[in-house]
Chain A
């Protein structure tokens, strides 16, 4: 509890904003499908951090914590499905580079 009180809300928000920016950067800069999924995880966790920090500092109940738990669960489900699809891509293309996927255009 004392550790929490030592830092104001702003610190948490800054860290989460930095995580969000890093996630977006990963998505834009990396072409590897697995790396892009890692970027998505960063974004989801930045939102989680926000939820928990707001819940602890300003709101004062556990609804933010609850939301974060649901997000963690869904992130796991989403990662499982996405990685399954990436395996399918690898079997068909022999590569997981997003640029290699050019069969659909127009």
Chain B
């Protein structure tokens, strides 16, 4: 074998979690046309197996990286001609994505609106999207970032419109597609300009090229334009303010499990790729886990901090007026993109760490809340706050679980969400961005208004006449709520292990 082919085989061994996802996808496609698919949910369980197997190999990578000495060169393995990085940062995110994929599958089990005949396609699209998330967080070149982003986007366009006979689902899919295509088109144009300026697609090489060009540093207009255009594509994925318009409509129209997937998976991957791109291409590492913007005149952290404040404010203020639970959660997820952006602007290892920590808690909080939406639709037939009225007395356990998720999203102690927000604000204060911290805290107070409105409807409002008898809660929901809420409660009192893991995973990019 030639040396190149040998290197490729070597790389493929380090690419096993992704390869397993691809093989599972192919297996599901083949089995979808055989009689196997007639048996109950077989393909969905096969998908679970694929995700778990991929997780086992991911764990092995994690252990290998740990043993090979933490930081240095050995833990920054680059695959396929430096286009994909396998570092603790990527492995951490991939673990989250596997969890997101599994939980999306769990939510789909009882979601009645999904057509059982389309189960194979549903699983295939979910697996492809998960693979795209994997590629996004590993990307080290503009090309790979674009490919990963599109591999997430295109299957999720279809997933958003999966209920073909529902007008709302179709509308959500078209809006998502048009906005997505525009955002990625603008991002692509920005990437082409950056490619022209720096002469390379590689993040690290872009930084070297930009550092060397004095005339560019003197007038960084073109660089600013290309940066803002690239931000349009990434901002669309995390739903931050000027690029958030699709979010409420798509979240409301899409099937609820897919809404839950979109609210966590692509958002987390968007932050992964933003951190990689902005920290590796547009910043210089100044030692001690701190970065500075590469060009003095291009203060992109200020741009991002303004976007961060705008995002959380718009999200929180718009959420107050919502009556649909899914729409409320959409605005809540926009607001959370704002909080998480605070971790990006501080340009320090503490910021990366806070984002990683918060995202892990966010997975459980958000999936808990969306599980409640599925539950409500399944047993009460509503997806509105109105449908929760008095439910706290008819089905106490799911409602208490939902209340815990909502209070954790607000950031109240002693829940996991509080610890996550605490670290985010700590990073901001460490950089002496007091105005940002104050606005963030004020926003959290506003968010309490609408989260508490749901809790109030559940526990403090009168039960509608004639519906006073207790609701029989299927075991599935009790178990699922318990699994999702336990980590939120646990992380509120004993968060040291996750801190250790997130700290280790945030030591990347030569810091």
Contacts and interface: CB of A to CB of B under 8 A. Distances in A.
Which of the four size classes fits the interface of chain B? 35 or more
A71 B188 contact: yes
Contacts, number: 132
A62 B196 CA distance: 13
Contacts of B188: 43-44, 47, 71
Interface string A63-86: 110110011001001100110111
> Looking at A16, A58, A92, A106, which has the most chain B CB atoms within 10 Å of its CB?
A106
A15 interface: no
Contact of B185 (A44, A101, A105): A44
A98 interface: yes
A27 B185 CA distance: 12
Contacts of A84: 158
A106 B181 contact: no
A43 B196 contact: no
A33 B178 contact: yes
Contacts of B59: none
Contact of A43 (B147, B173, B182): B182
A43 B185 CA distance: 6
Contacts of B150: 74, 77-78
Given A50-B189, A85-B174, A67 B143 contact: yes
A92 B167 contact: yes
Task: Tell me the interface secondary structure of chain A in the complex.
Answer: helix
Contact of A85 (B173, B191, B195, B200): B173
Nearest to A74: B150
21 contacts: A33-B178, A37-B181, A40-B178, A43-B182, A44-B185, A46-B189, A47-B185, A47-B189, A53-B196, A54-B192, A63-B201, A74-B154, A77-B150, A81-B154, A82-B181, A84-B158, A85-B158, A85-B161, A88-B164, A104-B172, A106-B252
Given A40-B185, A78-B153, A85-B158, 19 more contacts: A16-B192, A43-B186, A47-B188, A54-B195, A59-B195, A59-B196, A67-B142, A70-B143, A71-B146, A74-B150, A74-B154, A78-B177, A81-B154, A88-B173, A98-B174, A104-B172, A104-B175, A104-B248, A106-B323
- Across the A-B interface, the 5 shortest Cβ-Cβ residue pairs: A50-B192, A43-B185, A54-B196, A47-B188, A104-B249
Interface of B: 142-143, 146-147, 150, 153-154, 157-158, 161, 164-168, 170-175, 177-178, 181-182, 185-186, 188-189, 191-193, 195-196, 199-201, 248-249, 252-253, 321-324, 327
